[in-house]
Structure 1
Amino acid sequence: MKQKILFAVAIFLCIILFPAQIFAQNPAIIHEEITETNLAKDVVYKCITRFTDVGWYKIHVIEGNIADDFIALEALTSPEGIGVGTTLPHMALNPKIVAAINGDFFISGESYSPIGPLVKNGVMYSSPTYRRDELAVFALDRHNIPMLDYWQWQINLQAKGKNFSLAAINKTSSNFDYPVVYTTAWGKTAPTTKIADIVYIVVENNLITDILQGPGRQVQIPENGMVVMARGNTATQMLQVLEIGTSVELVINSTPDYGTLKLAMGGGTILVKNGAIYPFTHNISGNHPRTALGFSRDGSKVIMVAVEGRTPASRGMSQTELAQLMLELGAYNAINLDGGGSTTMLARKPGDTNLTLVNTPSDGSPRRIANGLSLINNAPQGDLKHILLEVEDKNVFLGFGRTITVRGFDAYYNPVEINPELITWEIAGVDGQIINHVFYPSSTGTAEITAHYLGLSAKLTLKVLESPVELILPEPIKTTPEGTVPFIVYGKNLSGFTALIENKDLNLTTTIGHLEKQTFFSGPREGTGEISINFKGFTYIVPVAVGARRVILDNFESLTATFTSYPTTVTGSYSLDHTSFYSGTAGGKLTYDFTAADATAAAYVQFHGDGIVLETLPERIGVYAYSPTVSSHWLRLTVEDATGKSLNLDLAREINWTGYKFVETQLPQDLKAPLTIKRLYVVETNPAAHDTGEIYFDDLTAIYPHELPGTTYPVQQYLHDPQRIEAPPTDYIFTFSVFGSTTQKKLIDRLVVNKMKALATELAELAVFTGNVDPNILKDLAIPVITAGTGYTTVTYGNNIFLLLDNSSGGLRAHSPQQWHWLKEQLAQITTGNLFIILPRPVWGAGGFTDKLEAELFNQYLSALCAQKINVYVLTGGEDEPTYDVKNGVKYLTVSGTAVNLTETSGLENYSYLRFYVTENGQVYYQVVPLFPLNN
């Protein structure tokens, strides 16, 4: 019989096998930025931001020279043992670690275990998988030569001339039908189980010291030994031979020989072998966050890769794209590791003593995993060799300060402490001074700052901007008691350039919590409050909510539910209990007996009538639950929304506590109120864990976010365009007018369209129409007309270039990726004159680009022309009349036409158009002109 282990349900592995792959070409790159940081003498961190025809990629790469005597690749596990899953930051506690990534796929449940093997210095910490031809293994021999392969292996327990085949070492098992060995690498104790006929065989120094039978035990694992767990016929056969005092030997055979290896760790398929993409033996389809490990042809360079995914900043990669990326990065051989929410990368930046999370995990924070890989810098601590200057933002406003941090490190990038009192400073390019390591400029321009320390020097370039005229606030704060949230305020000047304003330079007051540097600390008190900022006579308000509003739906002081079960063989009861409660005088008691069920079993607290109705949708629902014993059972909640959609939501995936504990579930926000809670229940999917028991409930609670007022953002008159004028200049040599949408939906729209056409004809000059434009309506105009939304092209009038682009699908790429490549070619040819970009929709705001990063990139390219003294205007359709904004020198104007949002009191005075003038010296001016002047 083929042996296998039935593993726990919660496995982060999706198996879709493809016998062959068709390797598509990588998408064309529109834009790419790469930053590099040395983490050690032979270790480099690269961050690649890539915008392509199919979207964004955020790629993190660590390259390390493992041929260097001081650089080592080592496996990481939880300090508490393999069986205790934890996050990568909690694994990477060695201060010599300079980089780390997550490792193997894993099984999770009451405990964690990697699916593949884990070998450290010739010791088998966890055995290989039975999926021998599907899941590959990375290994490093004692000469630091890497290898990728699919392992063959066998484990036997030998005693009295008999061989007992063992299923695994330090792996999670749901039923122990086949024996599993646990060593101290697993943890302090072997797994606890409720399986009735479970047998524990305790071995110390190759002698059986104890044999225990029965569930619910916490069996200590001997320091120089192991515990073998088995049940059923296999256990019976073993006990016929084994007894206390019997000499046993654990024999492990593997190909390759694990005893000759410095390191081995399991993974998924081999991605690349001998410089070519390898036929996938295991494929996780779709675009996801990805982690991979590769090596150069000579094996001296390790390449650790983490690709972000499931976020607007990075779409994730298919497995084929990942293989192509590894080839691109120089991998001659590469293996796929666990990805998705597990993808995590840490790096220790120069001069830092702590590791930094460099990627954004798709779950929002690092996930608990089974193991990881780290690069160790074993170089001895040396004397100070380098200093480095760091700031939070390289832009600074005139009249404000920028804190400069000085970090030191030795020749091997080990951090060295700096004495701030011994630093001296030089400033060139602008006037200013440095006080307590804060640079205060007194003139604008490019500042070159040099720090001198014990014969070493480091330089930093800052851009000093004109003073800000408005603030850009952080989002309203929602956090928990004793929570911390970054509180970052930016300023913006008349030219649209922004810079961080450090909180020490702002007049800040709080009514809840407090601020330290750039961080808000909520403190212990729940409730709402605000952070106010007084700036240039205006008061900005950022609302704050700490904690949440809780509404008790059932206090279990009266009987509001009955017992039901699935299947009918499950028996039990529901009643009030006045001895076990969290609050008040009673709690709900649910008893159950799952032992007669041979499949999934559940016991329900079924609420009376239609259930408990909630008129508004909460953020979370929770309940206090208490079980006298721990178990693998789930606690769940059934809800139904107004559309009849029913959901079973997890409150807890295991009952791993005793005493009352508040457990909760997040509600999907696409549910429609009113919401009805139908039942609470306990369920067990594994027949081997069926038992009898009881659980108590109290204070079923709906949790709502605090109602917050909107952010107060003063309407300021400071952000204006000095090129906007009231009367035409006398020396203009070129002029054109800009009109808005021509779509006719309201009775007034025909009047507006006819007026725009009449004005265009009367002015007898170039007319530009943006927004939703019907070209057929404009066919009878006997003047030059430029119409937005008709693809992309160029129109030139002397030194005035009009680039027509189409963002009607929500962005340039969404309309056509080729549009971006064409735009870059056009912009590269512009060296002088004025540039007018014509778009049907705005770039910013609710009606603008749906991809905010693409909008920022668009502005970045245009701003580069502004730096060459080219005037850049982006003219778009809109719904408000008119709007003006400026970002990094690029000016954005909207004009609405028939798209104006009219109110009951608004009329013809809300309609206007733009008239531009270009003077002899190339300056651009414009007027906002009423379509219907009041004197008419």
Structure 2
Amino acid sequence: MSPAVADSTPDPRPRDVSEVLRPLAPPPASSVATSPRAVADGDGIETARSARPIAPGISLTSYDRLESDKWLRVDALSVDLGGSGVQADYLSSGKVADRRAVSELAARHDPGPGRRTVAAINADFFDINQTGAPQGPGIKDGKVTHSPAAGANRAVGIGPGNAGRVLQLYFDGTLTLPSGTHPLTAYNAANVPAGGVGAYTAAWGTADRALTVDAATPVAEVLVRDGKVTEVASRPGSGPIAPDTTVLVGREAGAGVLAALRPGDPVALEYRPRTDNGPVPRTAVGGRELLVVDGTPQNHDGEGNNTAAPRTAVGFSKDGRAMQVITVDGRQADSGGVTLTELGLMMKQAGAHSALNLDGGGSSTLVAREPGNDALQVENSPSDGSERTVPNGLALTAPDGSGRLRGFWVESRTPAGNAPTADPVKGGHPERVFPGLTRRLTAAGYDETYGPAAGTPHWRTVRTSVGRVDDHGVFRAGHSGTTEVRAERADAHGSTRLTVLDDLARIEPTTRRVGLAEANATGTFGILGFDAQGNSAPVEPADAELAYDHTLFDIRDDGRGSFTVRSLTGSGAGQITVTVDGVTTVLAVSVGLAEHAVSGFDDAAAWTFSQARASGSVAATPEGQSGTGLELTYDFTQSTATRAAYANPPTTIPVPGQPQSFTLWIKGDGKGAWPTLHLKDAAGSDQLLRGPYVTWTGWRQVTFAVPPGAATPLSVFRFYLAETVAAKQYTGKIVIDGLSAQVPPTVDLPAQPRTADPLIDPAAETEARDWQFAVMSDAQFVARDPDSAIVAQARRTLREIKAARPDFLVVNGDLVDEGSPADLAFARRVLTEELGDELPWYYVPGNHEVMGGKIDNFIAEFGPAHRVFDHRGTRFLTLDTSSLSLRGGGFAQIKEVRAQLDAAAKDPGVSSVMLVEHVPPRDPTVQKGSQLSDRKEAALIEQWLAEFRRTTGKGAGLIGSHVGVFHADHVDGVPYLINGNSGKAPAGPVNEGGFTGWSLVGVDTVSRSEQQTARLRPWEGLPDWVSVQTRAHVDGLTLDAPAALPPGRSGAVGATVTQGARRIPVAFPLSADWTGSPNLFIGAPEDARHRHVASFDPRTGRLTALRPGTVTLAVTVAGVTSRTEVRVAEEGVGAAA
């Protein structure tokens, strides 16, 4: 495998579940309530928490935790049942077998005179595949709603006296017939017990009663009206039951009892609920497993339902006066769910003396109101992606209030969870605003019960210099800073805090292309702003000026901080130019998709096979999905490193237009290999479109999505299968056919200007810092080829680093390719031979140091996979991301990061913290395939570093690699460096950091006064403590400038680094030092002095002639310098025009 394509084999696959993520750090709400901390098993870290009152006696707390094996997202209700007036009601539609969403059930619930429904949860397990009826007992207002299935007697009950408890509920029934008395074994139940008789009333609903007896024989049904039999049938009926009618359904022996009846026979029914201890409750719903008994959490290890899943649980204090309700999200990327054992621990920590598990999975739902609003909103994230319909639940009701205004619930009109964002997870920052822009706020008035209350607020800000707010709640930002925004009327008040960032530097749409699949489809986009320090905030639609063809599209404010787009013509495409405070961006809208055939594989015989650590073949087969197909045979048993089998077309296949996706028919073999459609974009960069694991057999059409922003036109380079897991060893064969592209109407977008991040500095700036260290990564050599070009490049890098005399070197992963003991031993040999004892070095493992296996080989050769060390006031934390995640390197290292940040904040000897990890939080390329696979981990690290910088005033930064390009940016004031490759070929175009080399990092000690200034003015991105000189391998350097210019004219200047066959423009992110003769000013021409003949501005690349004379301009890259002379003279005096 050649170095040019060495990196196209995939890393371990990230999780493929949908990411519906709660904002990691929601802005504080007004009038926040508090509640005790909750834990799953005690070893985790709480990462976010918010709370709010629901009603007197009810509060809602929502929090996120990172545990050693998963993320958890939890919503918890704390309910006072003693004296607050809160009641718990049985919740249903009124029909036992009728399923509705919890939010719909709660909205329709009758809480009784003078009361309101303020929260609700799902309750019992139910007959999900047949009748839909609950399987446990049910009591409403002290009366039986339905009887439980055999053995399903556990329940949570409330009352009499409003105290709650966990209990056993039974059903006792008697049927009196002409033949005598017989047991009535069921009442509106999901199933009639074997040999029994069940009674069904109008409250049953419309579910087919035949489902209650399954396939039993014989069966019988009797209709009873006014105590007399009116009809006898040999099979159960369906449809609604008349209000004055009772239907008896019998099976086996019970059917025989009913079959003996005749019309006119008298029938009498008696039934009642019975408890294992104490009076019958007013309200009860069924559940299953006991979670806490007499204050002791129960251990369910080894039981069938003790897997991690979404959960709903209810518990009570010892006296029953306090009720605890918990829902835990599960089966999602950011919340893995909990076992029953873990749930019991959580309920105990929440204060439960007794607790019961209710229905979980996709059923788990919690709805609650906000202060000042009667509408109930879903608080958790149901695992089905939306609310599952359920038959029953528990409703919490509270007394009506006076309606007199007591306070305001103040929040942004743009919900944080849906706000345009640049964060790795869903959820933006509407609590931030840019100077001169606005944020629309709402103030919901509430009374003493937190119910709605009328009243128009008077708005004001505490710090008017930061911003002012008008009578409509529109805050207009002034100067940078933070202020409280208050809504007031008489004694009622509420508030929220808004932060005004630094000046708006750039804007971006949430998507560059809005694709409308058809004429009546709608699309959405938002606008996100950034300041120079990488702080972001959503831009209000009212602050954005849109220019577009109004005959093609209708674009409107969606009322939630974004725009909706609708086609007016049903076809076509166009641009939308967005301008905010003089800053502009452009996005495209297209309507409709056309199917373009890319390859029918009629030329399959001309395709060729290649491999990485595998063997196999390709061949044409007449058994394609439609005609000829391509058969790919592979053997993945020859290595434990990542293996790949490639099918290569005779030449790359061009694809016209701007495809949004590709489809390919794959006849699977069920082995689980990972398919990739490998494209080349217009810049020559690899675009690897990953598909689902081939776990199926037979034909299936697979869709490969094209990443937004991929440079078109695209071409198909090859298709391949890969296996990344060392333990998976197998052979197989698939067939592919019918490759097509889905292409919208073409609309070209202007090139987006690249933002030159100030972290990248010239050598002069970097070397002027107090001290320096070097970073190299991604050589990817193997011991079996010690004289390869990649090894030579690695050695060259090490020699350059040694010559620069940094304090030490950090090797940030992927120095080797396959992670074998031989590779790692060879890596030590190369480091030792090139650096000797003169330059200390630290080796941080990357994914190629393990190559799908374990970290053990690396640890045996180089010691701990993650380290902490201090150097001249900077604390370094090197982390193990060899599994493409932080938690994969051990949960202990995440806890260590938190502990070390806390310690560094307090340690006067530490003035900055630098995290070093091979896999960065973000991949700046359009593909986004080389970043931490757990996006919530990425968000957590970014949050922790930003918080550390903001609260301490000390420096914070992160160095990553892995992407295959050099890049730098700031996120919330924290600098992030991505170090490029030192050996293998780059993964991006030359003008986007696609060159080989290394980085020299310059560091300053941050003084106490600088820390104080940074704390006081966090929006300025202080402290200024670190610079990076990116050092490309320079084989040649050319400087192009006009030979002559007349005064007053300017000309373009450019420089190019030669690196093998690559030609790299000298521009961000490549560091360069521009110098000149004393009469040449380096900077903007308006800042030049009278003695200067000309000026050169490196930011614009323009040289401006000022007055006659000759100047010398020089550029230096990685120690190599190129010079040229420019003559300034009037035209006609030897000057070029």
Normalized against structure 1, the TM-score is what? 0.75
Mapped pair 1:932 → 2:1034: yes
- In 1, the alpha carbon distance for the partners of 2:876 and 2:207 equals 74
1:547 Cα deviation from its structure 2 partner: 11
Q: CA RMSD in A?
A: 4.0
Mapped pair 1:185 → 2:203: yes
2:65 counterpart (32, 50, 56): 50
- In 2, the alpha carbon distance for the partners of 1:714 and 1:361 equals 41
After superposition, give the CA deviation of every residue in 1:44-98 in whole Å (9 maximum; x if it has no partner).
001021112222111110111112352100111125x111112111211238211
1:477 Cα deviation from its structure 2 partner: 6.3
In structure 1, the residue matched to 2:484 is 448
In structure 1, the residue matched to 2:1092 is none
Mapped pair 1:499 → 2:499: no
In structure 2, the residue matched to 1:304 is 325
In structure 1, the residue matched to 2:178 is 160
CA contact (8 A) 1:434 1:440 kept: yes
Mapped pair 1:859 → 2:955: no
Mapped pair 1:540 → 2:586: yes
Farther-moved stretch of structure 1 (870-879 vs 326-335): 870-879
- In 2, the alpha carbon distance for the partners of 1:66 and 1:371 equals 21
User: 1:538-577 maps to which residues of 2 (within 5 A)?
Assistant: 538-541=584-587
Shift in CA distance, 528/384, structure 1 to aligned 2, threshold 3 Å: farther
Q: What is the letter of the counterpart of residue 222 of structure 2?
A: I
In structure 2, the residue matched to 1:146 is 164
Q: What is the letter of the counterpart of residue 405 of structure 1?
A: T
CA contact (8 A) 1:39 1:45 kept: yes
Farther-moved stretch of structure 1 (366-375 vs 489-498): 489-498
In structure 1, the residue matched to 2:475 is 439
User: 1:780-859 maps to which residues of 2 (within 5 A)?
Assistant: 780=833, 781=835, 782-789=838-845, 791-831=865-905, 832-845=910-923, 846-859=929-942
- In 1, the alpha carbon distance for the partners of 2:46 and 2:105 equals 36
User: 1:408-447 maps to which residues of 2 (within 5 A)?
Assistant: 408-419=445-456, 423-428=458-463, 430-435=465-470, 436-447=472-483
After superposition, give the CA deviation of every residue in 1:792-832 in whole Å (9 maximum; x if it has no partner).
22333322333222222222221011112222222223245
CA contact (8 A) 2:288 2:358 kept: yes
Shift in CA distance, 304/486, structure 1 to aligned 2, threshold 3 Å: farther
Q: What is the letter of the counterpart of residue 957 of structure 2?
A: Y
Shift in CA distance, 903/807, structure 1 to aligned 2, threshold 3 Å: closer
After superposition, give the CA deviation of every residue in 1:839-862 in whole Å (9 maximum; x if it has no partner).
223222322211111111111111
Mapped pair 1:911 → 2:955: no
- In 2, the alpha carbon distance for the partners of 1:279 and 1:445 equals 51
In structure 1, the residue matched to 2:494 is 458
Mapped pair 1:891 → 2:975: yes
CA contact (8 A) 2:572 2:590 kept: yes
Farther-moved stretch of structure 1 (244-253 vs 333-342): 244-253
CA contact (8 A) 2:519 2:591 kept: no
CA contact (8 A) 1:180 1:230 kept: yes
Shift in CA distance, 893/426, structure 1 to aligned 2, threshold 3 Å: closer
CA contact (8 A) 2:844 2:879 kept: yes
Q: What is the letter of the counterpart of residue 885 of structure 2?
A: G
CA contact (8 A) 2:459 2:485 kept: no
1:304 Cα deviation from its structure 2 partner: 0.9
CA contact (8 A) 2:146 2:189 kept: yes
User: 1:109-508 maps to which residues of 2 (within 5 A)?
Assistant: 109=129, 111-131=131-151, 136-160=154-178, 162-173=180-191, 178-187=196-205, 191=209, 199-205=220-226, 207-208=227-228, 210-213=230-233, 217=237, 220-230=240-250, 234-241=254-261, 243-244=263-264, 246-252=266-272, 254-256=274-276, 260-278=280-298, 283-391=304-412, 392=414, 393-419=430-456, 423-428=458-463, 430-435=465-470, 436-474=472-510, 487-508=525-546
Shift in CA distance, 328/461, structure 1 to aligned 2, threshold 3 Å: same
Shift in CA distance, 907/258, structure 1 to aligned 2, threshold 3 Å: closer
- In 1, the alpha carbon distance for the partners of 2:754 and 2:534 equals 14
- In 1, the alpha carbon distance for the partners of 2:87 and 2:989 equals 73
Mapped pair 1:715 → 2:755: no
Farther-moved stretch of structure 1 (312-321 vs 901-910): 901-910
In structure 1, the residue matched to 2:772 is 735
Shift in CA distance, 163/514, structure 1 to aligned 2, threshold 3 Å: farther
- In 1, the alpha carbon distance for the partners of 2:362 and 2:1026 equals 51
In structure 2, the residue matched to 1:688 is none
User: 1:14-25 maps to which residues of 2 (within 5 A)?
Assistant: none
- In 1, the alpha carbon distance for the partners of 2:490 and 2:741 equals 54
- In 2, the alpha carbon distance for the partners of 1:181 and 1:793 equals 69
- In 2, the alpha carbon distance for the partners of 1:356 and 1:719 equals 43
Normalized against structure 2, the TM-score is what? 0.63
Shift in CA distance, 121/224, structure 1 to aligned 2, threshold 3 Å: farther
Farther-moved stretch of structure 1 (792-801 vs 908-917): 908-917
CA contact (8 A) 1:292 1:336 kept: yes
In structure 1, the residue matched to 2:50 is 35
- In 2, the alpha carbon distance for the partners of 1:705 and 1:131 equals 56
Query: The residue matched to 1:642 in structure 2 has which SS?
Result: strand
Shift in CA distance, 229/480, structure 1 to aligned 2, threshold 3 Å: farther
Q: Structure 1: which 5+ residue stretches go unaligned? A: 1-23, 552-608, 617-639, 647-666, 678-701
Farther-moved stretch of structure 1 (258-267 vs 137-146): 258-267
In structure 1, the residue matched to 2:687 is none
Mapped pair 1:882 → 2:917: no
- In 2, the alpha carbon distance for the partners of 1:672 and 1:533 equals 48
After superposition, give the CA deviation of every residue in 1:253-272 in whole Å (9 maximum; x if it has no partner).
63349983201211111111
- In 2, the alpha carbon distance for the partners of 1:504 and 1:828 equals 41
Query: The residue matched to 1:367 in structure 2 has which SS?
Result: coil
Shift in CA distance, 341/882, structure 1 to aligned 2, threshold 3 Å: same
- In 1, the alpha carbon distance for the partners of 2:322 and 2:294 equals 15
Query: The residue matched to 2:764 in structure 1 has which SS?
Result: coil
Q: What is the letter of the counterpart of residue 786 of structure 1?
A: Y
In structure 2, the residue matched to 1:589 is none
- In 2, the alpha carbon distance for the partners of 1:830 and 1:710 equals 51
Shift in CA distance, 235/485, structure 1 to aligned 2, threshold 3 Å: farther
In structure 2, the residue matched to 1:642 is 667
Query: The residue matched to 2:341 in structure 1 has which SS?
Result: helix
Query: The residue matched to 2:443 in structure 1 has which SS?
Result: strand
Shift in CA distance, 214/479, structure 1 to aligned 2, threshold 3 Å: farther
- In 2, the alpha carbon distance for the partners of 1:228 and 1:143 equals 35
Shift in CA distance, 467/347, structure 1 to aligned 2, threshold 3 Å: same
In structure 2, the residue matched to 1:658 is none
Shift in CA distance, 480/150, structure 1 to aligned 2, threshold 3 Å: farther
CA contact (8 A) 1:123 1:258 kept: no
Farther-moved stretch of structure 1 (309-318 vs 755-764): 755-764
After superposition, give the CA deviation of every residue in 1:731-772 in whole Å (9 maximum; x if it has no partner).
543223322333326943233212212112222222332232
1:312 Cα deviation from its structure 2 partner: 1.2
1:209 Cα deviation from its structure 2 partner: 5.2
Query: The residue matched to 1:154 in structure 2 has which SS?
Result: strand
Q: What is the letter of the counterpart of residue 772 of structure 1?
A: D
- In 1, the alpha carbon distance for the partners of 2:50 and 2:76 equals 10
After superposition, give the CA deviation of every residue in 1:688-714 in whole Å (9 maximum; x if it has no partner).
xxxxxxxxxxxxxx9x99655899795
Q: What is the letter of the counterpart of residue 164 of structure 1?
A: H
1:186 Cα deviation from its structure 2 partner: 1.4
Shift in CA distance, 643/713, structure 1 to aligned 2, threshold 3 Å: farther
1:524 Cα deviation from its structure 2 partner: 9.4
- In 2, the alpha carbon distance for the partners of 1:729 and 1:34 equals 40
Query: The residue matched to 1:150 in structure 2 has which SS?
Result: strand
CA contact (8 A) 2:192 2:251 kept: no
Shift in CA distance, 484/180, structure 1 to aligned 2, threshold 3 Å: farther
- In 1, the alpha carbon distance for the partners of 2:193 and 2:590 equals 50
- In 2, the alpha carbon distance for the partners of 1:180 and 1:668 equals 49
CA contact (8 A) 1:429 1:448 kept: no
Farther-moved stretch of structure 1 (400-409 vs 509-518): 509-518
Q: What is the letter of the counterpart of residue 204 of structure 1?
A: R
